[in-house]
Amino acid sequence: TKTISKCYIQVTGMTCASCVANIERNLRREDGIHSILVALMAGKAEVRYNPAMIHPSSIAELIRELGFGATVMENCDEGDGILELVVRGMTCASCVHKIESTLMKTNGVLYCSVALATNKAHIKYDPELVGPRDIIQMIKDLGFTTSLVKKDRSASHLDHKQEIRQWRRSFLVSLFFCIPVMGLMIYMMIMDSQLADAHAHHNMSTEEMETLHSSMFLERQLLPGLSVMNFLSFLLCVPVQMFGGWHFYIQAYKAVKHKTANMDVLIVLATSIAFVYSFVVLLVAMAEKAKVNPVTFFDTPPMLFVFISLGRWLEHVAKGKTSEALARLISLQATEATIVTLGPDNILLSEEQVDVELVQRGDIVKVTPGGKFPVDGRVIEGHSMVDESLITGEAMPVTKKPGNTVIAGSINQNGSLLISATHVGADTTLSQIVKLVEEAQTSKAPIQKFADKLSGYFVPFIVVVSVVTLFAWIIIGFVDFEIVEKYFLGYNKSISAAEVVIRFAFQASITVLCIACPCSLGLA
């Protein structure tokens, strides 16, 4: 018995099925070559040869002589386990970075790439050191839900319907409460400018101004220190903070638990601080029975949540579009195949229906008129016309007779054919196309990797900056109160200078947080 070895050769420059036929026909004639199989889309040839008679490099040389580029592929994925996972719960680039960095630190994981757009993780690992179960457990420990990619052809992991619904709801809730808040704000601005005009024209004293100011309906006090305006803003802000921001809080909590900071943490920080600060200021004013209403930030959270949930909603709608095209492509695949057993002289002995995934290379598959070809193969028996427009775009049916190749997903028209499967599962032309499209979605542009990295450092940086702002203004205020007085307009003279400084410092630092939070980097 002569030993048969197998090698893979990367072939470039093939343009159509006749190139494939040309290579296969010429190489079969060579001594020592047992069999050859060429896949057009993947651009690789699988050759079984007798190592005593011929060497892989000389096989590649033979292909080069035919006018194609050929290189022998070393250790072509032999022995490496490949794991495809669906990961749910990722919201931004730093989640992706977190999963990738954690897995790459693990002994036995050779490669890991996570795609935010498709919710997929692609992991290569050494089966001797680590197993799929360990990897799945690791991702779960990081706070994400994950499962093996079920080979369902509906492409449900590309389906963003649930997220689209969730973000749309979040956006609409925020919007519903945001519009009145914005209305109140604009009204206040107009009234204030009118007051300023009145002040300019009539030279009123400040006391008169204040009486005029507080006589406006919105500035009227329900309780000492609690104006109608602030009370309404507070009422409108609570539901947004609770319901509009719910998903942000969950994600931020998970991120903080794992000592990472992502965009969600920033959003939650900015809105919560604005909300809590305003609430505390109100309580203080009520306790003091203040005559002048305090400045609050109840308008910040609703408006931030509106913009960000709108952004997230649009993002998922856009992802859904790309995914839809892929889903359509995937749906062209046949789901079942009829495998037949042949006796002498190609007599049918038996046939059975099996799932496409279970078809092996070399199986004989029967395709009835009107049926789809489940796998790529070569016709053994029968004549028919086949519609291959899904690959070639050519609407005219192509004649098939014994010896011709057929493509998975194309439609058999009038005759029954028996084909021998040459490429099955992930190697079929259609699977390769789907894979190329998915890889285009999963592989990140270098600039994107850079942005991911930056967003990891961005959040802590902003928090530090806002704390620095807080202390800087407190120091400035105590050293030189006039500066604060110059910038902090409309503060009331009755409260102590120290309190003015602290309120102003808080205002400045919260402003930093609120403005940096929907940063262009994160939104982009």
* CA 489 – CA 33 distance, rounded (Å): 89
Report residue 380's pLDDT band, with 50, 70 and 90 as the boundaries: very high
Confidence at residue 155, expressed as pLDDT on a 0 to 100 scale: 53
Higher pLDDT, 105 or 356: 105
Q: Supply the mean pLDDT for the chain.
A: 79
**Helices and strands (DSSP H and E) totals, the chain:** 16, 19
Higher pLDDT, 99 or 78: 99
Confidence at residue 306, expressed as pLDDT on a 0 to 100 scale: 85
Q: For 424-445, how does the pLDDT look when each residue is reduced to its tens digit (9 = 90+)?
A: 777 788 888 877 777 666 566 6
Instruction: Kindly state the average pLDDT of the residues 111-125.
Output: 87
* CA 523 – CA 500 distance, rounded (Å): 35
CATH class of the domain at 5-73: alpha beta
166: exposed, middle or buried (Cβ count in 10 Å: 0-12, 13-18, 19+):
middle
Higher pLDDT, 221 or 208: 221
Where do the structural domains in the chain lie, given as residue ranges? 5-73, 81-148, 153-332, 334-429, 460-523
Higher pLDDT, 487 or 2: 487
Report residue 79's pLDDT band, with 50, 70 and 90 as the boundaries: very low
Instruction: Kindly state the average pLDDT of the residues 403-422.
Output: 90
Report residue 243's pLDDT band, with 50, 70 and 90 as the boundaries: confident
293 touches 227 (CB < 8 A): yes
Task: Determine the longest span between alpha carbons in the chain, in angstroms.
Answer: 113
CATH class of the domain at 81-148: alpha beta
* CA 23 – CA 275 distance, rounded (Å): 71
* CA 446 – CA 454 distance, rounded (Å): 13
Q: For 157-190, how does the pLDDT look when each residue is reduced to its tens digit (9 = 90+)?
A: 556 778 788 889 888 888 888 888 888 888 877 8
Residue 404: pLDDT above 50?
Answer: yes
Residue 156: pLDDT above 70?
Answer: no
Residue 462, Cβ neighbours under 10 Å: how many? 21
Q: Which residues contact 402 (CB under 8 A, 6 or more apart)?
A: 379, 380, 381, 382
Confidence at residue 311, expressed as pLDDT on a 0 to 100 scale: 79
* CA 198 – CA 96 distance, rounded (Å): 57
HSE-CB of 510 using CA atoms within 13 angstroms: 22
CATH topology of domain 334-429: 2.70.150
406 touches 373 (CB < 8 A): yes
Q: Where are the beta strands (DSSP E) in 362-509?
A: 364-367, 376-381, 384-387, 398-400, 405-406, 411-412, 417-423
User: Which pTM was predicted?
Assistant: 0.53
Confidence at residue 301, expressed as pLDDT on a 0 to 100 scale: 79
Report residue 61's pLDDT band, with 50, 70 and 90 as the boundaries: very high
Report residue 416's pLDDT band, with 50, 70 and 90 as the boundaries: very high
Share of the chain above pLDDT 70, in %: 82
Domains 5-73 and 81-148 share a fold: yes
* CA 45 – CA 33 distance, rounded (Å): 13
* CA 9 – CA 76 distance, rounded (Å): 9
